[in-house]
């Protein structure tokens, strides 16, 4: 039987899709699998070590002199959660990742002490809220959706930490710039970079734990 | 261009403009000198008869009293206490040697400003500096090594001389660029 143009185009699209995303690993819609937990804890621990020990802020201090400028790279604290979410599509895993990351940061002597675990929980909470809102408005898988969700996940830690550190005496424009930078960092690092890394990992054959809807 | 992309473009331009103007506003309002030599500190203000800028080399000279490897006690906003060993130059010795002070010390106040526009939370009475010349310093070394990322200069006040309710960590201003006495 001869295929029409539409069927040929569909077949071609399916082939391209399969090449792009290999369906691998455990496919589970609701339940948490061992692979979910392994991803969450390994990537959380990795994030905790990297976030604590690598001074990313030096990348900013060289060319942006004002206090709060380091918020431009603050997204590296949350990107781990967005990668795990991309691989598993389960929002609980965002919490597992961030809490294990917070625990590591605490054990590595973070200045905020036990509060750093709460800060990580808060970041996870707002990232999940961001993804939920984006899914509701039909932007759950787009760059825009991931960007805004990432920005939402990263912005609230900045005022929280500045309030905890009682930085009332700093000029309001520095506060405003810090929060805008935190949001932008969330968009670019947590959202867009996280999405790109997730896509590349899936293309490379890293097992996913969710059902691809074709 | 799709409407959605157009909105993204417009939003990006608005955010970019807000950042640009806030940056300019901060520079003008806070009188930031972006081109100041990071290896120097300026002492100025209405409480002085003139403004003076000193480089690290000048600060390290024998002209001023040097405080070498002294342990300073700090408390942060969580009331965690810790000690750090700093070397630096006594602020009082600079003010005295250069004969900078103009007016009654008991009514003058001082505050520290960093290049990043962070500043000490409150202007403190200058008599603290006079009464404790070795406990208020402009540090250039920490544990015997030059200050790196947070330097090259930092203000250091020992917790013991601060008024109640003030935290020494907040007066330890990194990237110190100005000391204002008014």
pLDDT in tens, A157-189: 888 888 887 788 888 988 999 999 999 999 999
Separation of alpha carbons B24 and B10, rounded Å: 21
Same domain, yes or no: B12 and B45 = no
| Total tally of structural domains belonging to chain B | 2
Q: Answer whether residue A24 shows pLDDT above 60.
A: no
- Is residue B171 within 8 Å of residue B155, measured between CB atoms? yes
Q: What percent of chain B has pLDDT over 90?
A: 40
Q: Which residue of A has its CA nearest to B4?
A: A144
Same domain, yes or no: B72 and B140 = yes
Report DSSP letters for B96-141, one per residue.
HHTT-B-S-GGG-EEEEEETTS-B-SSPEETHHHHH-TTTEEEEEE
Instruction: Please name the member of B4, B118, B121 whose beta carbon is closest to the beta carbon of A67.
Output: B118
Same domain, yes or no: B57 and B12 = no
Contact A170 B117 (CB under 8 A): yes
Same domain, yes or no: B97 and B53 = yes
Separation of alpha carbons B91 and B68, rounded Å: 14
Tokens, residue B153 = 């200069």
B104 class by beta-carbon count within 10 Å (0-12 exposed, 13-18 middle, 19+ buried): exposed
* pLDDT tens-digit readout, B36-81: 788 889 998 888 888 899 999 999 988 889 999 999 999 888 788 8
Separation of alpha carbons B82 and B74, rounded Å: 5
Name the DSSP class of A60.
H
CB pairs under 8 A between A and B: 57
* pLDDT tens-digit readout, A42-76: 999 999 999 888 888 778 877 777 888 888 999 99
Q: CA of A96 to nearest chain B CA: how many angstroms apart?
A: 27
Contact A65 B119 (CB under 8 A): no
- Is residue A126 within 8 Å of residue A156, measured between CB atoms? yes
Separation of alpha carbons B92 and A185, rounded Å: 43
ipTM confidence: 0.77
- Is residue B182 within 8 Å of residue B47, measured between CB atoms? yes
Which uninterrupted H or E stretch holds A159? Answer: helix A157-164
- Is residue B95 within 8 Å of residue B129, measured between CB atoms? yes
Q: Answer whether residue B112 shows pLDDT above 70.
A: yes
**What ranges do the domains of chain A cover?**
26-203
Same domain, yes or no: B14 and B44 = no
Same domain, yes or no: B19 and B89 = no
Domain with B117, as residue range(s), is 35-181
Same domain, yes or no: B89 and B150 = yes
Same domain, yes or no: B44 and B128 = yes
Which uninterrupted H or E stretch holds B156? Answer: strand B154-157
From chain B, pick out residues whose CB is under 8 angstroms from the CB of A113. 78, 80
Instruction: Please name the member of A55, A169, A171 whose beta carbon is closest to the beta carbon of B30.
Output: A171
* pLDDT tens-digit readout, A78-112: 999 999 999 998 999 999 999 999 999 999 988 88
Separation of alpha carbons B45 and A184, rounded Å: 38
Query: Hey, is the C-beta of B38 within 8 angstroms of any chain A C-beta?
Result: no
Q: Answer whether residue A26 shows pLDDT above 60.
A: no
Q: What percent of chain A has pLDDT over 70?
A: 89
Count the helix, strand and coil residues of chain A and give each as a percent rounded to the nearest 5: 70, 0, 30
pLDDT for position A17: 63
Q: State phi, psi for B82 to the nearest 5 degrees.
A: -155, 165
- Is residue A33 within 8 Å of residue A211, measured between CB atoms? no
Among residues A96, A81, A73, the alpha carbon closest in space to that of A158 is found at A73
Same domain, yes or no: B137 and B89 = yes
What CATH number labels A26-203? 1.10.1760
A206 class by beta-carbon count within 10 Å (0-12 exposed, 13-18 middle, 19+ buried): middle
Same domain, yes or no: B135 and B177 = yes
For residue B72, give the CATH number of its domain. Answer: 3.90.420.10
Query: Hey, is the C-beta of A33 within 8 angstroms of any chain B C-beta?
Result: no
**Residue of B8, B11, B78, B123 to mutate when probing chain A, most A C-beta within 10 A:** B78
Same domain, yes or no: B79 and B169 = yes
Same domain, yes or no: B71 and B105 = yes
pLDDT band at B102; cut points 50, 70, 90? confident
* pLDDT tens-digit readout, B152-171: 899 999 999 988 888 888 89
């Amino acid at each position: 039987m001869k295929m029409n143009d539409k069927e040929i185009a569909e077949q071609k699209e399916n082939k391209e899709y399969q090449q792009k995303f290999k369906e691998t690993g455990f496919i589970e819609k609701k339940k948490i699998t061992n692979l979910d937990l392994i991803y969450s804890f390994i990537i959380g621990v990795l994030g905790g070590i990297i976030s604590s020990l690598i001074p990313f802020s030096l990348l900013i201090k060289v060319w942006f002199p004002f206090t709060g400028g380091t918020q431009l790279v603050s997204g590296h604290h949350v990107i781990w959660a967005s990668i795990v979410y991309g691989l598993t599509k389960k929002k609980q895993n965002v919490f597992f990742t961030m809490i294990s990351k917070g625990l590591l940061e605490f054990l590595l002597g973070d200045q905020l002490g036990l509060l750093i675990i709460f800060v990580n929980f808060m970041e996870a909470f707002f990232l999940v809220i961001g993804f939920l809102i984006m899914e509701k408005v039909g932007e759950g898988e787009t760059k825009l959706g991931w960007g805004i969700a990432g920005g939402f996940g990263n912005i609230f830690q900045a005022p929280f930490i500045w309030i905890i550190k009682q930085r009332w005496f700093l000029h309001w424009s520095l506060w405003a710039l810090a929060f805008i930078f935190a949001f932008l960092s969330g968009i670019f690092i947590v959202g867009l970079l996280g999405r790109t890394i997730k896509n590349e990992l899936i293309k490379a054959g890293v097992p996913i734990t969710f059902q691809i809807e074709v | 261009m799709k409407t959605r992309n157009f909105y993204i473009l417009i939003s990006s331009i608005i955010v970019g403009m807000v950042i640009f103007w806030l940056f300019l506003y901060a520079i003008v309002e806070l009188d930031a000198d972006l081109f100041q030599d990071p290896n120097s500190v300026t002492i100025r203000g209405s409480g002085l008869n003139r403004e003076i800028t000193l480089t690290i080399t000048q600060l390290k000279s024998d002209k001023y009293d040097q405080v070498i490897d002294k342990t300073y006690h700090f408390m942060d906003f969580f009331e965690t206490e810790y000690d750090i060993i700093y070397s630096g130059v006594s602020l009082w010795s600079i003010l005295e040697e250069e004969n900078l002070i103009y007016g009654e010390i008991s009514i003058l106040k001082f505050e520290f400003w960093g290049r990043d526009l962070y500043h000490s939370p409150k202007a403190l009475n200058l008599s603290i500096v006079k009464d404790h010349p070795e406990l208020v310093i402009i540090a250039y070394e920490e544990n015997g090594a030059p200050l790196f990322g947070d330097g090259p200069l930092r203000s250091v006040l020992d917790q013991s001389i601060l008024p109640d309710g003030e935290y020494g960590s907040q007066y330890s201003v990194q990237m110190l660029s100005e000391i204002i006495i008014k």
